[in-house]
Structure 1
């Protein structure tokens, strides 16, 4: 079995993520290919798309949201993601059990004794009038029947787990600050949630819904191990899907000896392929989409990916963080950068500053930062 080193895995990841070369594809196609963009910070997907799409402008994502081609919803890992409308409709049922389990794990004692099906029915009945509601307004409408649990626990259970919801625009539009207003996914899209056959996480058999998730994940993130698929999705019950796909997948090993799965015709560029500087938003799935993130970030800096820090890729790896401060874009290296690397960071940083259009007139590179555990 062929062994893929970190650099080979890195270049494969960059190619799948449109980070080796920007694409001209429509926004909704890119969002679908990437299996969604993590979006709990509403403005971050704009930078993620700018780094991946040629000549991207914010109005393209705004239109995709307002025209209901992409939506903001709780999905993978119970995190708000920007996903293609069709994926939201077909994938939601496959994530239902995980979403419930994750909310209950957080509020197990507070929600003890609550009949989840009864609460879900009550939530759907409240939302049947098609009026958008905040989480607080939804809790107000049901709390008389469930006065015991804390409001936050009831709200998260309803909005993030029991009733498939979408967060409506203007939430998530460019430079727009807006609270979360929820509407059932089916109401917003005018179509029912239509899971693929086999979307019950506890079901037996070949799990066709899980197979689709595995294929789509590998197209955007492969080659990858089953532990990576689980870390990305939050869904544990995919072994049947992986077994069913074995004959159509190719396998490799990494230098740690893990078996890696991949689609036969997916791009796996040469490890020597040049990789341009790229600025990533907070919580980008190019980093977070794996259990083993060593292909793109050093273990010493792994913590920045969950701390909400924005990353800069130099030669394909996380080599700095970035932020904006007054009239400057500040880059803080995690290692010493060569003179050509610093120049490439400045050039891409100036282009990003132009895109952000916040009066930023310089790119500063700070001293090397210490490790982030």
Structure 2
């Protein structure tokens, strides 16, 4: 062990690795790669996540990545829709298959009890072979004639969130576009099959997930890795990596894992005001979220509320109007310097919205 890390030290490490301590001079593609994807069930939120992380971010850059198929929207970590690079979608999907199936069955086990999932998958694949985009409802209705008692919602969810690796197609997810979710199999959209899961007891794909997670979120406990990914079966990967990692303890006594050379800034490093989108993984990416949000406010992280970081912690919420006016609701009193910094960053966000809003 190499010591105890205070909550504030963990906060500054998280901010540094999440590009929230200083705006990063990297491309949107490199940022999405580094962050291991961005939670994106609310289609516009990744744009605000990158605004707060990248210097001079232009939302057209991310839209272009979607239309050129360099990033995709797909069900992955925690069975939620994530915006991930095409390379990561192909490499990681098989490692998440069992978790995705388990989570959907956990919701619809009764409705799907009489359904042969292999037969269902084969039937749906034949329908999707024409490479025509379909909504979840369209596909569910197309197969429902064979399972009329099941209901279209369970059929659609198990197919497109678990059994068939699929992506949500643009224009959904493009900047300031409103569009329903239409799906194609990943293999059709990217022209490549997903990588098969290696039959290796050291879990090489899991090792990659752990390394990448620590680079973007560490230091962290194995429970944090599990909370971020939704994948429970990572002990073999962690065991295989242990000799390459360093360990710490947090103030609660949990063992924390980390990459030896990853940034761990001085806890007294000033932290700028940052506006985070709904469901940002900087908060949701942990089992113990106390490094960035107080227990009394942690419900905000799963309620789809946009939050503001002041001194590195969730200290306010924010909303915006269709005209780009940003409104802030404080969760605690601010000092005059904090209020001034908050007002400055709000003006920057409003200018971003004004500059990039079509009239």
Distance 1:260 1:285 in 2: 18
Q: Secondary structure at the match of 2:134?
A: coil
Alignment of 1:206-355 (within 5 A): 206-325=202-321, 328-355=325-352
The 5-angstrom pairing of residues 170-209 of structure 1 reads 170-195=171-196, 197-198=198-199, 205-209=201-205
Check the 8 A contact 1:231/1:291 in 2, yes or no. yes
CA RMSD for the aligned pairs? 1.3
- Could you tell me which runs of 5 or more consecutive residues in structure 2 were left unpaired when the two chains were aligned: none
- Once the two structures are superposed, the pairs formed by residues 65-214 of structure 1 within 5 Å of their partners are 65-195=66-196, 197-198=198-199, 205-214=201-210
Q: Tell me how far 1:326 sits from its aligned partner.
A: 6.0
Instruction: Provide the residue aligned with 1:365 in structure 2.
Output: none
* Cα distance in 1 for residues equivalent to 2:339 and 2:349: 15
Distance 2:72 2:353 in 1: 22
Deviations 1:100-158 (A, max 9, x none): 00000001100002111111111111111111111111112211111121110000011
| Residue pair 2:59, 2:356 contacting (<8 A) in 1 also | no
Show CA shifts across 1:308-342 (max 9, x none): 11010011111111011465311111111001100
Residue matched to 2:44: 43
**CA offset at residue 40 of structure 1?**
0.3
**Number of aligned pairs?**
355
Whole-Å separation in 2 of the counterparts to 1:356 and 1:108: 44
Q: After superposition, give the CA deviation of every residue in 1:77-119 in whole Å (9 maximum; x if it has no partner).
A: 0000000100000100000000000000001100002111111
Summarize deviations over 1:196-225 as a string: whole Å, max 9, x none. 524xxxxx7111111111001101100000
Give 5+ residue unaligned stretches, structure 1.
199-203, 361-373
Q: State how far apart, in whole Å, the 1-side matches of 2:243 and 2:250 are.
A: 20
Tell me whether 327-336 or 223-232 shows the greater mean CA deviation.
327-336
The answer for the alignment partner of 2:16 in structure 1 is: 15
Shift of 1:359: 11
> TM-score scaled to structure 1, two decimals?
0.93
Detail structure 1 runs of 4+ shifted over 6 Å in the superposition: none
Q: Note if contact 1:89-1:195 (Cα within 8 Å) is conserved in structure 2.
A: no
Alpha-carbon contact 1:91-1:195 (below 8 Å) kept: no
Maintained 8 Å contact 1:231/1:289: yes
Partner of 1:371: none
In the TM superposition, residue 159 of structure 1 has moved relative to its aligned partner by 0.7
1:23-38 matches, cutoff 5 A: 23-38=24-39
CA distance in 2 between partners of 1:7 and 1:56 (Å): 28
